[in-house]
Amino acid sequence: MTDLATYNFAYLDEQTKRMIRRAILKAISIPGYQVPFASREMPMPYGWGTGGVQVTAAILGPADVLKVIDQGADDTTNAVSIRAFFQKVANVAVTTRTREATIIQTRHRIPEETLTAGQTLVYQVPIPEPLRFLEPRETETRKMHALEEYGLMHVKLYEDIARNGHIATTYAYPVKVEGRYVMDPSPTPKFDNPKMHMSEALQLFGAGREKRIYAVPPHTDVVSLDFEDHPFEIQHFDKPCALCGAEHVYLDEVVLDDKGGRMFVCSDTDHCEDRREHGHAGEMLARQEAAE
Amino acid sequence: MGAHTEIHASAYAGAFTDPVFQSQSVFRALMDAMARPGTIMPLGASATPPAPLGAGAGAIALTLCDDGTPVWLTNALVQSSVPAWLSFHTGAPVTEIKPEARFVFIEAGGIVPGFDQFALGTQEYPDRSATLVIEIASLTGGPEFFARGPGIKDEAIISPKGLPDIFLTLWTENRGLFPRGVDLILVAGMDVLCLPRTTKLRRREV
């Protein structure tokens, strides 16, 4: 890496890192509250995870092992380019294995494998304000958080039930953190919401364009909003993963041909690969082997 | 004259030898300690600030303070070469006005002012509150408290030694202001124990 020295370690200058680090400490002290920070321009467009990248850059050290996932996958464009970015500007060790990573930067998924105390999960967040689509004015949403006035969110969920018979929100499903702040878990499927509750790992959220950082410390209450007669439920899948046969995991639909053929596979590629290495085989994999 | 020269010399020396990586390692210890209140974490790097500021508190100042963070110091620290040291190495302005300070440094045995004299943040912006770095004799061996709250599995027991008797009262009042309130970093030597405003403390009766 001859060009490593062209930039400061992990790309950001030290002044910026200090500013972000101070924001992270306050975010941890006020779980679920969005701390404003002076988000920098990054060498990638907004929407590509500039918030997550800045948080990762501020916490990353030479001893870390970094994993980056995009919708659960290690091998999609966003994950590959962010991983390559940190290899280039920080020369950091990278992995695709969840259990080997100390920092996992994620776009829209929480790994299937339970995270542990030594790990930090960094979320890329597009719109950090859970009330934004209900109230466009920042001055008003800020006041609503200040006064703990979340009636509007419950009305929204109620209207879901009135129209559809159930709460139709399936991703970015709002949660209440430690009984105080309503928080956007980023556009993760609601399937992942229960994993945030009382997690062993520290969870940090970075929104670059919206200039907000927030956090959920380990062992913190994270409750998905619901009603007594319409309790929160996660998605269920009829079939196991077509490749590794895993059940109770989040599956992606893959279209196979133009005749209606399709398969459902693990969204978490590392989890799927690990299971296949350990001899688990799903329907499609077994069929392929039989054909060979 | 000799003393004068010595003040200046100590103000210019004693910062990190490898600022990028040492401040990263100190920050990670602080982040982990703040995320897991009650856990004693060793700081990964030390500094040599002028007395009476300790090595651990000095390292925290170098890691978190800059020209955007006014600092409040106790009388003993103001009268030492610590303000010159802070100014030279971090650019942080020293303020006498307590509510203006983003960081507060109190040396071991120094008088701890009431927490509500410092910035507590507002209901809209609770993050705009002070962080107090308090050096104490030891993070163990003092009166025992049960600690509960985010970051703590079930319940932890902490026993910092060297805090004023009124500490529990001050802390309980601070906790009652949530989401406003100050956050504490307790330092003994090179170890830290953090108490974010979310932590509830209760005296353990012996």
- What b-and-e string marks burial along A252-284, b requiring 16 or more CB atoms within 10 Å of the CB? eeeeeeeeeeebbbbbbbbbbbbbbeeebbbeb
- Contact (CB<8Å) B31/A60: no
User: What is the number of helices (H) and of strands (E) in chain A?
Assistant: 8, 12
From the list A27, A30, A146, which residue is nearest B124 (CB)? A146
- Contact (CB<8Å) B127/A26: yes
- Contact (CB<8Å) B153/A178: no
Q: Which residue has the tokens 């520290």?
A: A202
- Nearest C-alpha neighbor of A156 from the set A145, A167, A140, A147: A167
Residue A262 in 3-state DSSP? Answer: strand
Radius of gyration of chain B from its Cα atoms, rounded to whole angstroms: 17
- Contact (CB<8Å) A30/B198: yes
- Nearest C-alpha neighbor of A78 from the set A124, A113, A42, A112: A124
Interface test with A, best of B16, B24, B132, B154 (most A CBs within 10 A): B24
State yes or no: pLDDT of A128 exceeds 90. yes
Which CATH code of 3.40.50.510, 3.40.190.10, 3.40.50.300, 3.40.50.11310 fits the domain covering B2-203? 3.40.50.11310
The pLDDT assigned to B7 comes to: 58
> Other C-beta atoms within 10 Å of A20: how many?
24
From the list A19, A22, A219, which residue is nearest B151 (CB)? A219
d(CA A26, CA A20): 10
The pLDDT assigned to A292 comes to: 61
State yes or no: pLDDT of A95 exceeds 80. yes
pLDDT 10s digits, A178-200: 999 999 999 999 999 999 999 99
State yes or no: pLDDT of A286 exceeds 80. no
pLDDT 10s digits, A15-66: 999 999 999 999 999 999 999 999 999 999 999 999 999 999 999 999 999 9
- Give A117-180 as a DSSP string: TT-EEEEE-S---TTTTT---HHHHHHHHHTT--HHHHHHHHHHHHHHSS----BS--EEETTT
Helix (H) or strand (E) holding A22: helix A14-29
What ipTM goes with this model? 0.96
* Domain boundaries along the sequence of chain B: 2-203
> Other C-beta atoms within 10 Å of A286: how many?
13
Model confidence at A284, pLDDT cuts 50, 70, 90, reads confident
Residue of A nearest to B103 (CA): A22
Model confidence at A7, pLDDT cuts 50, 70, 90, reads confident
Model confidence at A6, pLDDT cuts 50, 70, 90, reads confident
Residues of chain B falling short of pLDDT 70? 1-8
> pLDDT exceeding 90 applies to what percent of chain B?
93
Interface test with B, best of A28, A59, A91 (most B CBs within 10 A): A28
Paired with A77 in beta bridges are none
- Phi first, then psi: give them for residue A160, nearest 5 degrees: -55, -50
Alpha-carbon distances of A141 from A48, A131, A146, A152, B92, rounded to whole Å: 25, 6, 9, 10, 33
Q: Catalogue the active-site residues of A.
A: 32, 241, 244, 266, 272
- Mean pLDDT score of chain A, rounded to an integer? 95
State yes or no: pLDDT of A280 exceeds 50. yes
The pLDDT assigned to A3 comes to: 53
> Other C-beta atoms within 10 Å of B157: how many?
10
Angle ∠(A133,A136,A139) on CA atoms, nearest 5: 135
Q: Give the distance, in angstroms, between the CA of residue B62 and the centroid of all CA atoms in the same chain.
A: 12
- Phi first, then psi: give them for residue A94, nearest 5 degrees: -125, 160
